[in-house]
Amino acid sequence: MDHINYKVVFCLLGVILVVGPWLQIFCLCALAFYLWNAQKISIILRTLPRDLGFITKLYRIIRKNQILKRRNFTPASMLSDLAAKYPEQPCFLFEDQVWSYKQVNELSWRVARVFHERGYKRGDVVALVSSNRPEYVAIWVGLSRLGVITALVNNTLRTIALQHSLEVVKPKGVIVSAELCPAVKEVEEDLSAKPTLFKFCGADQQSQLESPSIGFELLNSALDQQPGTPIIGLMPPSYKDELIYIYTSGTTGLPKAAVLRSSRYLFGTLAARYFANITKEDRIYNPLPLYHSAGGVVGVGPAITMGVSCVIKSKFSASKYFEDCAKYECTVGQYIGEMCRYLLATRPSEYDQKHKIRIMLGNGLKKNVWQSFVDRFNINGIVEFYGATEGNTNIVNIDGTVGAVGFQPRLLPDFLNPMGLIKVDEETSEVLRGPDGLCFRCLPGEPGMFVGKIKEGDATREFHGYVDKKASSKKVATNVFKKNDKYFLSGDILVMDELGYLYFKDRTGDTFRWKGENVSTTEVENAITKAVGLQDACVYGVEIPNTDGKAGMATIVDADDTVDISKLGKSLAKYLPPYAQPIFVRLAKKIDVTSTFKLKKFNLQKEGFNPANVGSDRLYFRVSKDGDFKELTSSLYEEIVAGKVQC
């Protein structure tokens, strides 16, 4: 009854009293329909401005994307066009360097020429292992001119994870920035194929140019011998070509290489442009890793396709973020949720509001951080994106609703919406189905897995999957809402309110998110096995108040008190990147199993890292990235929960 507008009711009743019988019947039907659907109509009216604004922007994105498709545009061709129109305009700013469109374009052509002369051709793969720098982008753009696919390897990976990332894409060559040569050299002998190794020194690494690492060809020398001009007669890349591989963690236990075509890359940049209202007059501040879609697509995409200058940082610094924004006169800032918490934790500075940032875009900004962040740093707008690199479940929060990762227009009926929430088992994450074999659609307030309808030939709805086809098939469900349909399974649990706003709740399966990275529990469990042998071990994510994502926790069976926590920590630090190393370790006498002998993570996760919940089991807390642990006492637990100890 709260949703009924009684002015509408009285108006219809008044009309009924003064009109003829046919109009009376019509008005009575209208009144009955209104009373029956008052809540839905009220919601549609409340969300109509938001939904119409979104539909208008989406229409412009789709229309522009169709033009790009028709003209067979690619990131490489669009960069060349910009270099011709604005040769001296800044494309990238990095440290004290300014890279013009002409410089970036010419370097990309020199890269293309070097690998063209060495026989690299369409469909070949080159792995790129490098830290952030302008050359990073020029390298993969240059390779794409040949139809060569660049695998953007996470530069924090070491040993087994790094070896796997290289093996899975079968690269013909590997380009490595100078400081990462030792990491690649460590796994080179274990690679089944022997790719050519190229050492690359950026403009900021001049001191290392004359000291090529053993077994690496110095790429700079080859580049210097090439002109930065197009290759005559070269067949141009296509809008539909595979462009880059971006790695994402999954249930296989090791990184998976997701396929990103030029069509999806361009759609991602168009989404950033229109939903965040980015124009050529803007300048983007990008401290995110370029091997991620947030930094490598949303961050640098507008620079190489739209003419928007982008500031690239080698790594994120909370204390320098807004100082840099002021220095470089940036108007658009990027974030992931954990970054915003770190920014709030810094000491107040004159740069907190002495900047020109008008909008921030990213993902993972939590509700309890959102308003404080906006108020302290005087941010006029937040554009929160949600989506998987490899998937088609992409949504956006365009009106700044606190805590929402996006919304679904309430103007559209469910059957016309290409995305939705389906019910899954709380403990196993298995999709639930009815007697007809179809899935259950969640009602507002019910948590469920976010899914997106797959439609071939549509850049917004395609699913290109992974290099590993078996892994791709696991992310597709059929017979979801009707027979023979296909949907992408995001693996994420979301909740939708009655206005259509969606809120992130949890990740399903064998991954959780921490510090902006997906952590594979299987990968961590494998590393634990290397350290402690065949003892049973469970890895899962636990919530810490006022942090983004879930912190890693490992429960290890130590019935005989033989696990050395010091050796364990150092072993995990050797085999795992910092974000994947468990923050908490629980040494237990036993772990309960299911009837099929699967370890029960659900109860362990509920008990968390509170000493009061674990009985006589021993708890430890990681105090350094080198793998040092200390006993987790009740007093230390209280300090962690209160935010006095940084995790």
**The 3-state secondary structure of 554-608, one letter per residue:** EEEECCCCCCCHHHHHHHHHHHCCHHHCCCEEEEECCCCECCCCCECHHHHHHHC
Residue 11 has what pLDDT?
A: 61
Nearest partner of 109 among 85, 79, 129, judged by Cα:
79
The tokens of 431 are what? 């999709």
For the chain, list the domains and their CATH numbers: 6-36 (no CATH), 72-315 (3.40.50.980), 408-458+467-504 (2.30.38.10), 511-641 (3.30.300.30)
d(CA 254, CA 257): 10
* SS3 label, residue 332: strand
Nearest partner of 355 among 332, 338, 375, judged by Cα:
332
- What are the pLDDT digits (tens) for 602-623? 788 889 999 999 999 999 999 9
β-strand pairing of 501-507 with 419-422: unpaired
- Where do we find the tokens 């059929």? 478
- Where do we find the tokens 């995110």? 288
* SS3 label, residue 76: helix
Residue 601 has what pLDDT?
A: 79
d(CA 507, CA 10): 49
Residue 19 has what pLDDT?
A: 57
DSSP string, 388-447: -SSSS--EEE-S--TT-SEE--TTS-GGG-SEEEE-B-TTT-PBPB-TTSPBPBPPTT--
Counting other chains too, the contacts that 501-506 makes at CB distance below 8 Å and 24 or more residues apart are 501/397, 501/401, 501/404, 501/406, 501/407, 502/386, 502/395, 502/404, 502/405, 502/406, 502/407, 502/408, 502/450, 503/367, 503/403, 503/404, 503/405, 504/364, 504/386, 504/405, 505/447, 506/447
Residue 596 has what pLDDT?
A: 40
The total of other beta-carbon atoms located within 10 Å of residue 347's CB is: 6
* SS3 label, residue 227: coil
**Rounded (10°) angle between helices 262-275 and 38-70:** 130
Nearest partner of 134 among 98, 167, 110, 188, judged by Cα:
98
Farthest CA pair distance, the chain: 96
Contacts of 506 (CB under 8 A, 6+ apart): 447, 492, 493
d(CA 555, CA 536): 8
Alpha helices by DSSP H, 118-240: 134-144, 159-169, 181-188, 219-224
The tokens of 506 are what? 């949890």
Residue 520 has what pLDDT?
A: 80
Nearest partner of 138 among 156, 118, 113, judged by Cα:
113
Residue 388 has what pLDDT?
A: 81
d(CA 242, CA 393): 20
Nearest partner of 451 among 505, 492, 489, judged by Cα:
489
β-strand pairing of 149-152 with 125-129: parallel
Cβ atoms of 557 and 531 closer than 8 Å:
no
Number of residues that this document lists for the chain: 647
Nearest partner of 211 among 179, 183, 184, judged by Cα:
179
d(CA 632, CA 444): 40
Q: Which helix (H) or strand (E) holds 147?
A: none
Cβ atoms of 247 and 161 closer than 8 Å:
no
Region for residue 579 given its phi and psi (left: phi exceeds 0; alpha: psi -120 to 50; beta: otherwise): alpha
Residue 111 has what pLDDT?
A: 98
Residue 609 has what pLDDT?
A: 96
The tokens of 288 are what? 């995110």
Nearest partner of 475 among 394, 415, 386, 390, judged by Cα:
390
Cβ atoms of 389 and 260 closer than 8 Å:
yes
* SS3 label, residue 117: helix
Name the stretches of the chain with pLDDT < 70.
1-39, 210-212, 249-253, 427, 509, 534, 593-599
Cβ atoms of 542 and 608 closer than 8 Å:
yes
The tokens of 615 are what? 């009985």
Q: Which helix (H) or strand (E) holds 42?
A: helix 38-70
d(CA 383, CA 400): 7
Which amino acid would we find at residue 267? F
Nearest partner of 179 among 133, 244, 114, judged by Cα:
133
Residue 359 has what pLDDT?
A: 97
Contacts of 187 (CB under 8 A, 6+ apart): 159, 162, 163, 166
d(CA 475, CA 392): 11
508-519 burial, b at 16+ Cβ within 10 Å, e below that, comes to bbbbbbbbbbbb
